[in-house]
Amino acid sequence: MRFIPVIVLALMGLINLGRGAIHAFAPDGGAHSIAGLEATPTVLSLFATLGLSQMAKGVFELAVAARWRSLVPLFLAMQAVDTALAMANLYLWRPLPVTVPGQPFNLALLVVQLIALAIALRRPAK
């Protein structure tokens, strides 16, 4: 079971690379074509910034999963906090005028991240 956190972190790295590339490089950043939002220049700039940071995070998550396994709990915790804050924003603080595809998907991801984090933090049985 100790491999589950590593797999979850690697998958999050791939997800962050994928969605980051869409936000950074798609003509509308996915704002209109995926989320149904108006793709104004301000939104495009914010999406590109978000996307580039998601890609950077994804690269680091993949590196940790591949090479620096002792950091897996830290990176899972960072990802879970990031996802939880994004969900708090989208559902409670500053909700968008439409439900975007990332909302329900990220709720499911948060549960998976928290389970993987709990496994990663569990002490081995003696």
CA geometry: angle 74, 71, 7, nearest 5 deg: 90
**Location of structure tokens 């962050």:** 16
Q: How far is CA 126 from the centre of its chain?
A: 34
What's the whole-number average pLDDT of the chain? 94
Domain definitions of the chain by residue range: 3-121
Over residues 63-100, the pLDDT tens digits come to 999 999 999 999 999 999 999 999 999 899 998 888 88
Q: Which residue has the higher pLDDT, 22 or 103?
A: 22
Mean predicted confidence (pLDDT) in 21-27: 96
Contact at 8 Å (CB) between 75 and 61? yes
The pLDDT, as a whole number, for residue 78 is 98
pLDDT (average), residues 97-116 = 91
Contact 54, 20 (CB under 8 A): yes
Would the pLDDT of 125 be above 70?
no
- Tell me which residue has tokens 């950074």: 24
- Using CA atoms of 68, 73, 75, 78 in order, give the dihedral in degrees to the nearest 10: -160
What kind and span of H or E run contains 29? none
Report, in angstroms and rounded to the nearest whole number, the Rg of the chain calculated over CA atoms: 16
